[in-house]
Amino acid sequence: MAENKISREMAEQEFERFGEAMDLDFDTSFMDEDDRKGFEQSKRRIVKAIMSGAMTVNDDGCPVFTPQRAEGDVNPITFYEPTGATYMAMDRKKKTEDMGKMMALMADYTQTSSGLFSKMKNADFKICLAVTTLFLG
């Protein structure tokens, strides 16, 4: 196992900075049990990615993730603050296309394509999905 690049404490501070910059509510006292579990899982994945150096938080508070299991040259993916149009990207998918909706959302606010996420290995995809679910809370 590779050594962490930064401490858990620093990674959690970066996670909090991301939440503040994006105006996300991380107060678990108002969440029901399922939402709290989902939040904790997302936070754990993101903090772990920050600790390993796979994710950073830029000066604007945007998470920047570099896929670790991709083949060939890999470009970092910046998760910009979503807009109303970002959420509307999900409307272009059918009601039954839940994963397609998530990929459309991720593609819009990372300014990439859904194809990038559809080809992503599971470990990398779960980190991207963790960031995305925080915006849906």
pLDDT digits (tens, 9 = 90+) for 104-134: 889 989 999 988 998 999 999 999 999 999 9
Give the residues across from 10 on adjacent strands.
none
Residue whose C-alpha is closest to residue 128's, from 97, 106, 112: 106
Q: What is the mean pLDDT of the chain?
A: 90
* C-beta separation of 78 from 18 below 8 A: no
pLDDT of residue 2: 64
* pLDDT beyond 80 at 86: no
> pTM for the full model?
0.89
Q: Would you place residue 56 in the very low, low, confident or very high pLDDT band (cuts 50, 70, 90)?
A: very high
